[in-house]
């Protein structure tokens, strides 16, 4: 299922990026459904399309929200969207390349998985291509274990280190630090999880830079698809105690706080007239605060 792009006039680069994000969604969802089948569940993703209107009421593309609630994945959302139009004046001033011209288009994939077993890490991944007066890719992925296992953390980081390696010896360290700085909860003085990579504003000034930055963004998606299912399969049958489940629910409160207060993607969706359910699919299904 693909987003409705009514009201948009995508150029070749935007269409290529859109096609990749939709393909990545299909690959990830198929793999997650396969994991559910291995656990004895016939749960599948439910896909809900949505249309967008901009702040002036004009048609501005849309998206598809994919959600699955199963035996292994307590709640996982894999969303794609392709939207465009005009930023509201106050929001345009905060967006790269939109301060003088508020027209924009954006296409991307966003994923958050909250797991039934507290030994299996929650995870976030998103990649996107945004056009204002400039064009750029951004995104990343980070692991969020309620009960951290250093082997899982090391495997996750090693896979993304490998994805970054062809693009320069400094790339992984730069984007790892960016993730550490970004996925931090100031009012708690703690990191949201065990980190990963985060990047933004990889500008596409010509065909060569588009090809390079698009290839990197594809490699980020492929790295996620490779490493996270392995981590899930390694832990999804572990026994856990009531105390460990409670620790997971308390930890989820920190995750919710970050997404509602600090997350740029949440703000972008709300400020650009996105689908509320799709934007807030990142919130965990059950949580407690203490």
Catalytic residue numbers read 124
Pairing label, strands 122-131, 190-191: unpaired
| Residue 49 token pair | 């399309």
Decide: helix, strand or coil at residue 93: coil
Bridge partner residues of 123 (DSSP): 113, 143
Alpha helix segments (H runs only) across the chain: 12-38, 89-92, 150-164, 171-182, 207-235, 242-261, 264-271, 276-279
Q: What are phi and psi of 171, to 5 degrees?
A: -65, -50
Cβ neighbours for 183, distance < 8 A, ≥ 6 positions apart: 142, 191, 192, 193, 195, 196, 198, 258
Q: Phi/psi at 131 (nearest 5 deg)?
A: -125, 125
CB-based burial label for 168 (10 Å; 0-12, 13-18, 19+): exposed
* 3 state DSSP class of 147: coil
Whether the CB-CB separation of 140 and 125 falls below 8 Å is answered with yes
Alpha-carbon distance 77 to 251, whole Å?
19
Per-residue tokens: 222 = 């492929």
The token pair at 95 is: 């967006």
């Amino acid at each position: 299922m693909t987003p409705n792009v009514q009201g948009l006039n995508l150029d070749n680069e935007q269409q290529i990026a859109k096609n990749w994000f939709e393909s990545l969604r299909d690959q990830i969802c198929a793999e997650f459904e396969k994991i559910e089948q291995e656990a004895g569940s016939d749960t599948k993703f439910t896909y809900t399309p949505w249309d967008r209107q901009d702040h002036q009421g004009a048609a501005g593309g849309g998206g598809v929200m994919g959600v699955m609630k199963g035996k292994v994945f307590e709640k996982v959302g894999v969303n794609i969207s392709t939207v465009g139009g005009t930023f509201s004046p106050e929001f345009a001033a905060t967006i790269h390349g939109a301060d003088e011209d508020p027209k924009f288009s954006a296409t991307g994939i966003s994923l958050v998985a909250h797991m039934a077993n507290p030994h299996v890490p929650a995870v976030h991944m998103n990649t996107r291509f945004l056009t204002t007066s400039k064009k750029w890719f951004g995104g990343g992925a980070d692991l969020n274990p309620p009960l951290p296992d250093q082997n899982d953390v090391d495997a996750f980081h090693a896979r993304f280190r490998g994805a970054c390696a062809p693009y320069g010896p400094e790339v992984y360290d730069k984007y790892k630090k960016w993730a550490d700085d970004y996925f931090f909860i100031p009012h708690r003085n703690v990191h949201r999880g065990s980190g990963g990579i985060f990047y933004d504003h990889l500008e596409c000034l010509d065909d060569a830079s588009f090809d390079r930055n698009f290839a990197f963004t594809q490699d980020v998606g492929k790295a996620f698809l490779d490493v996270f299912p392995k981590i899930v399969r390694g832990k999804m049958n572990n026994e856990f105690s009531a105390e460990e489940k409670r620790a997971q629910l308390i930890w989820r409160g920190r995750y919710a706080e970050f997404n509602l207060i600090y997350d740029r993607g949440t703000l972008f969706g709300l400020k650009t007239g996105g689908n509320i359910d799709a934007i807030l699919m990142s919130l965990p299904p059950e949580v407690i605060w203490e």
